[in-house]
Amino acid sequence: MLNLTGKNALVTGIANNRSIAWGIAQQLHKAGANLGITYLPDDRGKMEKKVAELVEPLNPGLFLPCDVQNDEQIQSTFETIRDKWGKLDILIHCLAFANKDDLSGDFSQTSRSGFKTALEISTYSLVQLTGAAKPLMTEGGSIITLTYLGGVRAIPNYNVMGVAKAGLEASVRYLASELGPQNIRVNAISAGPIRTLASSAVGGILDMIHHVEQVAPLRRTVTQEEVGNTAAFLSSDLASGITGQVLYVDAGYEIMG
> Rule CB under 6 A: which residues touch ligand 0WD?
13, 15, 18-21, 40, 66-69, 94-97, 121, 146-148, 191, 193-194, 196-199
Is 13 a known ligand-binding residue? yes
Shortest distance, position 150 Cβ to ligand 0WD, whole Å: 8
**Phi (first) and psi of residue 191, to 5 degrees:** -85, 145
Minimum distance, C-beta of residue 18 to ligand 0WD, in the bound complex (Å):
6
Nearest to 188 by CA among 163, 166, 219, 218: 166
State which residue, 94 or 251, has the beta carbon closest to ligand 0WD. 94
Distance between CA atoms of residues 242 and 161, nearest Å: 26
Residue 67 annotated as lining a ligand binding site: yes
Least Å distance, CB 70 to ligand 0WD, is 8
Distances (CA, A) of 58 to 12, 30, 61, 126: 14, 9, 9, 24
What is the C-alpha separation between 162 and 38, in angstroms, rounded? Answer: 25
Is residue 197 annotated as involved in ligand binding?
Answer: yes
- Cβ nearer to ligand 0WD, comparing 1 with 154: 154
Catalytic annotation present for 158: yes
Flag whether 196 is marked binding.
yes
- Any binding-site annotation on 195? yes
Complex with ligand 0WD: residue 24 or 179, whichever CB lies closer? 24
Distance between first and last Cα of the chain: 36
Q: Is 68 assigned to a binding site?
A: yes
Between 129 and 179, whose beta carbon lies closer to ligand 0WD? Answer: 129
Catalytic residue among 39, 124, 148, 174: 148
Closer residue to ligand 0WD in complex, CB, 13/36: 13
**What is the smallest separation between the CB atom of 205 and ligand 0WD, expressed in angstroms?**
7
Check if 248 is active-site. no
Annotated binding site: 13, 19-20, 67-68, 95, 98, 165, 194-198
* Residues noted as catalytic: 148, 158
Annotated binding site for substrate: 98
